Chains A and B, each alone.
Chain A
Amino acid sequence: MDKVLEVKDLHVSFKTYGGEVKAVRGVTFDLHKGETLAIVGESGCGKSVTSQSIMRLIPEPPGKFDGGAIIYKDNDLTKLKESEMRKIRGSDISMIFQDPMTSLNPTLTIGDQLTEGILQHMKLSSEQAKKVAIDMLDLVGIPSPHVRLKQYPHQFSGGMRQRIVIAMALVCQPEVLIADEPTTALDVTIQAQILELFRDIQKKTGVSIILITHDLGVVAQVADRIAVMYAGKIVETGTRREIFYNPQHPYTKGLLNSVPRLDVDGADLIPIGGTPPDLFSPPAGCPFTARCPYAMEVCDKMYPYKTKLTSSHGVDCWLQDERAQKLLATK
C-alpha cells in the first residue's frame, strides 16, 4: 500500500492559565492511498488537535508544537515555511470542520468562497474557476448550482451547507481530506446522506480521507482502518474488521460495549466508568490504568510497548506483552 501521509511521534501542547495541557503525546499513524482512516476516541482526547496539526492550523500561542514529523510527499510539513505550507493547504491537503453553520463566511456568497480557493491554487481565469465550482456543487448534490452560486450561506439548510463545505474542500482535488466530525452537527438522515457522499467521492476521485469522529456507527459505515485515541495517544490501530471483531485494548473493548449493536441480541450497554486523566500532568504509565478492569502493577509505572498482532493490527497494552500473556495463562 502506498503511504500518502505519515504522522510520526507528534507532540502538541497548549499553554493555559492552569498550566501546560499536553493534548497530543506521541501520535503515530499512516494514511494509505485511497483509504478512509477513522480516528475515534472520547471528547478531549486530542483528535482535533492532531488533525489541525497536520495542516499547521493550531494557533501559536497558546498552542505549541513539541516535536515529531508529518511526512507528505517526502517533505516534513512541520519544517516547511509558512508560505510553502499555504501552497499545500486547500490544494494537497484540505479540511472539513465540524459545524457547517459556522464554517462558512456569512457575508460572502458561496460562489465567492468556492472560487477563491481555486484561484489561489490553480492557474485558471475566474470564468473557468466558476465552471469548476459549478461542477463541484453538482458533484456534491446541490441542485441548480449556477443559481446557488450567487447566494449567501444563510440561504441554505445545514445539510446543504455541509455539502458546500465538502465541495469547497474538494475543489482543488486534494490528495488528502481531513474531516473533523463532519456529520456530528447534522440529523441522522442527513448524516447518512453525507457519509454516502464521502464514499461516492472517494470512489470517483481516489482521495484519502482521515475521518475524525466519536461515533462508532459512522466508523462502521465508512472506515477502512481505525485508530483509537485515548488521552493524547493512539492506543490501538487495525482494520475495521480487526477493531470491531477482535478489539484488544481494554479501552477499545469498553468503547464497543458502550454502543448499541444490532448483531448481539440483548447485550447490555456498559459505559466506561471514570474519566480520562488530566492532561496537565498526564500519568507516566498507561493513561487508562485508573479505569481499566485488567490494570496491573506495571501499567501505572510504565507506558506499554506497541505490540504488533498482525501487519495491520497494533496495540499499546501490557496485556499483549509476552510476559503478561504467560502470567494470565498460569493464573
Chain B
Amino acid sequence: MLGYLVKRIGSMAVTLLVIITLTFFLMHSIPGSPFNEERATSEAVQKNLESYYHLDEPLYVQYFLYLKSVATFDFGPSIKKSSQTVNEMLGRGFPVSFELGMVTLIVAIFSGILLGIIAALRHNGFIDYLAMTVAVLGISVPNFVMATLLIQQLAVTWEILPVATWTSPKHMILPTLALATGPMAIIARLTRASMLEVLTQDYIRTAKAKGLSPVKIVFKHALKNALLPVVTILGSLAASILTGTFVIEKIFAIPGMGKYFVESINQRDYPVIMGTTIFYSTVLIIMLFLVDLAYGILDPRIKLHKKEGK
C-alpha cells in the first residue's frame, strides 16, 4: 500500500509538471502582453515593468524562474492588481469555491443515487418514468440556463430565495441547485442502470433464498456493487462541477476563484492565470486520486498496490 502511495504521488507530481509546462508555454504563445493596451504608457515605463516581472528574459529563463517559485508554493504577485499576490487571491477565493463545489458534489451524489435506486426499484413504473424524464432534462439543460430559470422562478417571481451572493445557507440553495442538477441527473441514470443490472445477478437470488428482507438485499447486497460504475465517473463529474463553478460564481456574484481566473485570462495576468490553473489542476488530481482509493475500498477484488507496476 505504501509503495502504491509513493508511486501514485510521484505520478501526480509528473502530471502537474506537464500541466504547468503546457500552460506556461501556451499562455506565452498567445499574442499580446499584459502591458500593451490602448492606454499609452511610455516606452521607458513599459521596459521597467517588463524587467520587474522578468518578461524581458528569454522564455526558458522565465519558465525556470517560475518553476522555482512554484516549488516554494509562491505564485508571485499579480501584474494587474499589483497590491495583491496570487496566493492572497487564492486564499480568499478558494474557500468559497471549495464550499460551492463540495456542497454541490455531495448534493449531486446523494440525491442522484437515491433517485437512481428509487427508479430502479420502481422499474418501468410511473416514478421511474418521471425520474428519468427529469434526469434527461437535467442533463440537457446547461447550468447557466438552469441558474437563470431558478432565479426567475424562485427568486424573482415567488421571492422565496435570495437572488445572488453567498452569505448564508439560504443564499447557497440556488447556486448549488443550478450546479448540481446536471451531475445529479447523470448519477441517477447510471445508478438506475447499474442497479437494474446488479439486481439480476445470481448473488442477489442467493440473498433472496436466505430469506433476507428487500431492504437488506438492496442496501447491503446490491448497492455496493451498483455504485462501482458510479464511482468511476465521479472524477470527471468533479471536473465538470469545477468548470461549472466559474459560470455559476459569475451569475450569482459569488466571490470565489472563478472571477480571478476569468479576469486574469482577459487581462493576460500571467501569474494569476498560472496560479489558478495549477491550483484547479491540483484539486482535480487529488479528487481523481480519492476516487481511485474509494474504488479500492468498495471493491475488494481490486488490489491498489498490485495495479501499478505489473
Binding site for B on A (CB under 8 A): 55, 57, 86-91, 94-95, 97, 99, 102-108, 116-117, 120-121, 152, 154, 165, 168-169
Contact = CB atoms under 8 A, between A and B. Distances in A.
Main secondary structure on B side of the interface with A = helix
B205 A57 contact: yes
Contacts of B205: 57, 97, 103
A106 B211 contact: no
A103 B211 contact: no
Given A106-B301, A107-B300, A90 B202 contact: no
21 contacts: A86-B211, A88-B211, A89-B208, A89-B209, A90-B210, A90-B211, A90-B212, A91-B211, A94-B210, A97-B206, A97-B209, A102-B202, A105-B225, A106-B203, A106-B301, A107-B298, A107-B300, A108-B221, A120-B216, A121-B211, A168-B206
A89 B210 contact: yes
Contacts of A106: 203, 225, 299-301
A103 B205 CA distance: 8
B220 interface: yes
A71 B163 CA distance: 67
Contacts of A86: 211-213
Interface string B217-232: 0001100110000000
Given A99-B202, A108-B224, 20 more contacts: A86-B213, A88-B211, A89-B211, A97-B202, A97-B205, A97-B206, A103-B202, A103-B206, A104-B206, A105-B221, A106-B225, A106-B299, A106-B300, A107-B299, A108-B221, A117-B212, A120-B212, A121-B211, A152-B301, A154-B300
A108 B220 contact: yes
Contacts of B208: 57, 89
Contact of B224 (A94, A107, A117, A154): A107
Contacts of A87: 211
A116 B216 contact: yes
B170 to A, nearest CB: 40
B155 interface: no
Nearest to B207: A105
Contacts of A103: 202-203, 205-206
B29 interface: no
Among B202, B206, B216, the most chain A Cβ lie within 10 Å of the Cβ of B206
A154 B301 CA distance: 7
B90 to A, nearest CB: 40
B293 to A, nearest CB: 16
Contacts of B300: 106-107, 152, 154
Contacts of B301: 106, 152, 154
B157 interface: no
A121 B209 CA distance: 12
Contacts of B224: 107-108
Interface in B186-211: 201-203, 205-211
A117 B224 CA distance: 19
B134 to A, nearest CB: 26
Nearest to A92: B211
Contacts of B216: 116, 120
B209 to A, nearest CB: 4
Contacts of A55: 209
The 7 closest A-B pairs by CB, nearest first: A89-B211, A90-B211, A90-B210, A102-B202, A105-B203, A117-B210, A152-B300
A88 B209 CA distance: 9
A105 B213 CA distance: 16
Given A108-B221, A152-B301, A154-B301, A102 B212 contact: no
A98 to B, nearest CB: 8
Nearest to A152: B300
A104 B203 contact: yes
